[in-house]
């Protein structure tokens, strides 16, 4: 996984300092990966903002409760299968993503069967992206 070929589109702002601190730590560990914050609104308006923010050459990974559930090793393997493709991970707002937007995804991913606030989902995704990179490079960070 090449962090410079990935980015995160996230609806809403991170307001909790401790979550922002964790996000900053993982962004430093994943140079090149960017996070674009989109204004929260209704799911339909958020979907339109997401569509406008997506680049034509990106494969979209929508985070959704009903998405594919993978352990960290399989997540790393799935990222490897995307090779040099550009990936845009999309995290919706409080009311989630519209059905139409989810159906347009290249891949739907669930971080857990549990529901998390969008800012915490962002932190969890960044940690898993870092862990995937560590798994792929044989780093001792992942002790699975």
Q: Report pLDDT digits (tens) over 70-112.
A: 999 999 999 999 988 999 999 999 899 999 999 999 999 999 9
Residue 71's closest CA among 120, 7, 9, 142?
142
Six token digits for residue 86: 């550009």
Distance CA 2, CA 7 (A): 10
The DSSP letter of residue 61 is E
Query: Tokens 């989109």, residue?
Result: 38
pTM above 0.85, yes or no: yes
The candidate with the shortest Cα–Cα distance to 106, out of 51, 62, 52, is 62
Give the per-residue pLDDT at 46. Answer: 96
Residue range 35-45, pLDDT digits in tens = 999 999 999 99
Strands (E), the chain: 6-11, 34-38, 58-69, 86-91, 107-110
Domain limits, the chain:
3-137
pLDDT band for position 115 (cuts 50, 70, 90): confident
Domain 3-137 of CATH type 3.40.1280.10: yes
| Average pLDDT of the residues in 4-16 | 94
Query: Whole-angstrom Cα distance, residue 86 to residue 90?
Result: 13
15/143: higher pLDDT:
15
């Amino acid at each position: 996984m090449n962090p410079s070929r990935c980015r995160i589109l996230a609806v809403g702002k991170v307001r909790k300092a401790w979550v922002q601190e964790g996000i900053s730590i993982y962004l430093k560990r994943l140079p090149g990966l960017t996070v674009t914050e989109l204004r929260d609104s209704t799911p339909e308006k958020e979907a339109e903002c997401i569509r406008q923010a997506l680049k034509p050459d990106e494969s979209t990974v929508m985070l959704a409760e009903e998405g594919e559930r993978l352990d960290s090793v399989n997540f790393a393997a799935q990222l490897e299968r995307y090779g040099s493709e550009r990936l845009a991970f999309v995290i919706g707002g409080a009311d989630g993503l519209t059905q139409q937007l989810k159906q347009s995804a290249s891949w739907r991913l669930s971080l857990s069967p549990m529901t998390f606030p969008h800012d915490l989902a962002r932190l969890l995704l960044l940690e898993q992206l870092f862990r995937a990179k560590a798994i792929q490079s044989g780093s001792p960070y992942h002790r699975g």
